[in-house]
Amino acid sequence: MADILKNLGASYMGVQIYDKALEHYKEGIEFLMKRNDNESTRMAKIYYNMGLVYRKMKDFKSAEQYYQTAASVIATSKSASDLITLGDIYNNFGVLFGTQDKFAQAKKYFQMSLEYYQKVLGPNHSICKEVQINIKELEKWLSI
């Protein structure tokens, strides 16, 4: 059920109906909590998606809070999929801070995401290359 609610939330986010997306994501979290299903990966992905919605709504403070919650839920995991999710979360922290012209913070989070991606995907993966480009762009902005 939580996965269905997460998918509904993603569908609403895709068509920019953000209030409905958040509603479904919150229902997914509530469902997991009521069942004492603290399956960290599922919860982290829902919190992460909520952060994406808030970022799209330009509610940067809420986006940051939900990204942080998502990261803390799976911070100690060693599974490859969770490490990639942490990379995604930290990459989106970088985007979030870059959007706010907080370039030093953005660079820090892009570097963190790169570490997670490289650990699982290897340094030559296309995602790693994209993050490296983002870091180089930020370094240009920081040197101006």
Which fold, 1-76?
A: 1.25.40
Tokens of 72: 């803390």
Question: Residues 55, 63: contact at Cβ < 8 Å?
Answer: yes
Residue range 30-70, pLDDT digits in tens: 998 888 766 788 899 999 999 999 999 999 999 999 999 99
Distance CA 86, CA 75 (A): 8
Q: What is the pLDDT of residue 101?
A: 92
CATH architecture of the domain covering 79-144: Alpha Horseshoe (1.25)
For the whole model, what pTM was predicted? 0.90
Q: What is the pLDDT of residue 72?
A: 95
Tokens of 35: 């069942």
Domain ranges across the chain: 1-76, 79-144
Question: Residues 57, 21: contact at Cβ < 8 Å?
Answer: no
Which of 16, 35, 14 lies closest to 2, judged by CA? 35
